[in-house]
Amino acid sequence: MVDENNEVVYRNIFRREDMKNFQKLYTIVNNWKSCQIYVNGYKINFDVDDGLGFNCYMGFLNHGGPSSNYCQHMGQWARSIGPLPNYFGCFRSHISFIQWKRKPWFHFISENKNNRIKINLDDMLEVARNNLEKCRLCPLIDLKKVESMIRAMPPYVDLKRSSYWAQWYQNSLYPGDQRRYQKDMLSRISKFL
User: Read out DSSP for 161-193?
Assistant: T-HHHHHHHHHHHS---THHHHHHHHHHHGGG-
Least confident of 41-50, 69-78, 87-96, 129-138: 69-78
- Whether the full predicted model's pTM is greater than 0.75, yes or no, is no
Q: What is the pLDDT of residue 187?
A: 53
User: Do 85 and 145 touch, CB atoms closer than 8 A?
Assistant: no
Confidence check: pLDDT of 122 > 80: yes
